[in-house]
């Protein structure tokens, strides 16, 4: 069998992530590789920290990037914040909140679930009731934008409730960061994690995280050592906050970091508030055209939708999988399928990052019309 260089077909990525990457970001990936302790690379790390503080809306110095996907960020936040035996309240209404439960159980935490219907935002009163019934809870965890359902929860309010009950907060902002309002300091989010391939419009494989002063104090005063070597915040901070004299932790993927730095620069140049506005405006345009031209409806009520990731109900009698295959093979257009309880019932349409523009809306509507006409 002969082998040759891999040269993929161009795809238009309008699923739940990854999204298409800005060509300027792709260009940076091909620049000369640096060692992970090179003085130039150390300087780049400092710039990434500064840009992430801007993006997360935080002043915390414990803001940096993990060399892995958003799932690594999830595990890092939970394994640092939770000790075996700790009672943890997890708000769950989708696939990724359920993953939080699995991780906490592996750590040895005692899980209390606040269950919500898939496709709906977490009802704050349910969290209030759970904390009233579990006064010994130490941590509350929730997902801001539930990628599997298209539902957006009011985590500012959930965080207020958690802190009123003397709990620390772990928040998943994987799908929200860079695309909709995320205010880490103002909302008092103690440990947050995200990813690089959605609202930040970069390549996958990096997980921005941030920890509050309260979280750092909590972690430093643990009774049981952190049950992970790679994700131990104490070791990671030695690499990320040591000036030019950094402690070796792991071989960071320097070229990927170049891409993230460029993506964050692009976001700052646009101004993040303008990016939030752009995503909301383009979402409204897409929803309007889906209804008017294709008679397709989001399953999530209007006040609870992720603007840039729509869960669209599959019409009766339509083969949802065949529609996705036809979009991919005939139009080079990728959208997402439903997960878990929504498998086979929805399409997930992403309009995020570099792809959040009217050209993408036009292309999607045109392609979807052609495919649905033949199904």
- pLDDT at site 246: 79
Mean pLDDT across the chain: 96
- Give the confidence band of 243 by pLDDT, cuts at 50, 70, 90: low
Q: Residue 9: how many CB atoms within 10 A of its CB? A: 6
What DSSP string describes 309-331?
EEEEEPPTT--HHHHHHHHHHHH
3-state secondary structure string, 222-258? CCCCCCCCCCCHHHHHHHHCCCCCCCCCCCCCHHHHH
- pLDDT at site 241: 83
- pLDDT at site 26: 97
Is the pTM higher than 0.85? The answer reads yes
Q: Which residue has the tokens 């695309």?
A: 179
Q: Which of 336, 283, 298, 320 is CA-nearest to residue 15?
A: 336
The residue ranges of every structural domain in the chain are 12-17+272-373, 23-268
Domain boundaries 23-268, CATH class = alpha beta
Write the pLDDT tens digit of every residue in 257-276: 999 999 999 999 999 999 99
* pLDDT, mean of residues 168-179: 98
Which tokens sit at 39? 């003085």
CA distance linking residue 197 with residue 218, whole number of Å: 30
Residue 143 neighbours by CB under 8 Å, 6+ apart: 91, 93, 94, 96, 97, 100, 153, 171, 172, 174
- pLDDT at site 269: 98
Please state whether 317 falls in left (phi above 0), alpha (psi between -120 and 50) or beta.
left
CA distance linking residue 263 with residue 21, whole number of Å: 9
- pLDDT at site 242: 66
Q: Which residue has the tokens 């878990």?
A: 340
- pLDDT at site 62: 97
- Give the confidence band of 244 by pLDDT, cuts at 50, 70, 90: low
Write the pLDDT tens digit of every residue in 13-60: 999 999 999 999 999 999 999 998 899 999 999 999 999 999 999 999
* pLDDT, mean of residues 148-177: 98
Q: Which of 35, 48, 33, 72 is CA-nearest to residue 240?
A: 48
Write the pLDDT tens digit of every residue in 54-107: 999 999 999 999 999 999 999 999 999 999 999 999 999 999 999 999 999 999
Q: Which residue has the tokens 């790679």?
A: 230
CA distance linking residue 104 with residue 363, whole number of Å: 42
- pLDDT at site 2: 83
- pLDDT at site 115: 97
Cβ–Cβ < 8 Å for 311, 119: yes
Q: What single-letter DSSP state applies at residue 32?
A: P
Q: Which residue has the tokens 């609870």?
A: 304
- Give the confidence band of 245 by pLDDT, cuts at 50, 70, 90: confident
Cβ–Cβ < 8 Å for 365, 291: no
What DSSP string describes 259-304?
HHHHHHHHHHHH-HHHHHHHHHHHHHHHHHHHHHHH---BSS-GGG
CA distance linking residue 149 with residue 223, whole number of Å: 37
CA distance linking residue 140 with residue 365, whole number of Å: 40
Which architecture, in CATH terms, is 12-17+272-373? Alpha-Beta Complex (3.90)
């Amino acid at each position: 069998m002969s082998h040759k260089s891999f040269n993929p077909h161009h795809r238009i990525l309008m699923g739940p992530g990854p999204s298409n990457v800005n060509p300027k970001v792709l260009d940076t990936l091909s620049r000369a590789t640096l060692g992970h302790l090179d003085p130039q690379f150390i300087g780049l790390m400092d710039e990434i920290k500064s840009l992430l503080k801007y993006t997360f809306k935080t002043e915390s110095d414990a803001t940096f990037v993990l060399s892995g996907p958003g799932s690594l960020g999830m595990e890092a936040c939970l394994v640092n914040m939770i000790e075996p035996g700790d009672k943890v309240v997890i708000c769950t209404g989708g696939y990724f909140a359920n993953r939080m439960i699995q991780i906490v159980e592996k750590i040895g935490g005692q899980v209390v679930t606040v269950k919500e219907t898939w496709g709906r935002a977490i009802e704050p009163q349910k969290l209030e009731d759970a904390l009233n019934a579990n006064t010994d809870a130490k941590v509350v965890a929730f997902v801001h934008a539930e990628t599997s359902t298209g539902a957006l929860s009011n985590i500012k309010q959930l965080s207020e409730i958690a802190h009123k009950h003397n709990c620390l907060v772990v928040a998943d902002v994987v799908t929200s960061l860079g695309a909709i309002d995320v205010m880490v300091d103002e909302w008092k989010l103690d440990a947050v994690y995200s990813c690089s391939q959605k609202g930040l419009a970069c390549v996958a494989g990096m997980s921005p995280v941030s920890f509050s002063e309260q979280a750092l104090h909590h972690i430093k005063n643990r009774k049981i050592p952190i049950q992970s070597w790679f994700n131990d915040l104490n070791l990671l901070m030695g690499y990320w906050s040591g000036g030019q004299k950094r402690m070796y932790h792991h071989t960071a993927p320097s070229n990927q970091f170049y891409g993230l730095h460029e993506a964050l620069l692009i976001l700052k140049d646009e101004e993040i508030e303008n990016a939030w506005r752009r995503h909301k405006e383009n979402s409204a345009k897409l929803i309007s055209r889906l209804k008017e031209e294709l008679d397709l409806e989001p399953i999530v009520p209007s006040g609870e939708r992720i603007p840039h990731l729509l869960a669209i109900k599959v019409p009766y009698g339509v083969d949802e999988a065949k529609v996705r295959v036809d979009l991919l093979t005939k139009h080079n257009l990728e959208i997402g399928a439903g997960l878990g309880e929504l498998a086979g019932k929805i399409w997930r349409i992403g309009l995020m990052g570099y792809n959040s523009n009217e050209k993408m809306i036009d292309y999607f509507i045109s392609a979807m019309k052609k495919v649905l006409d033949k199904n």
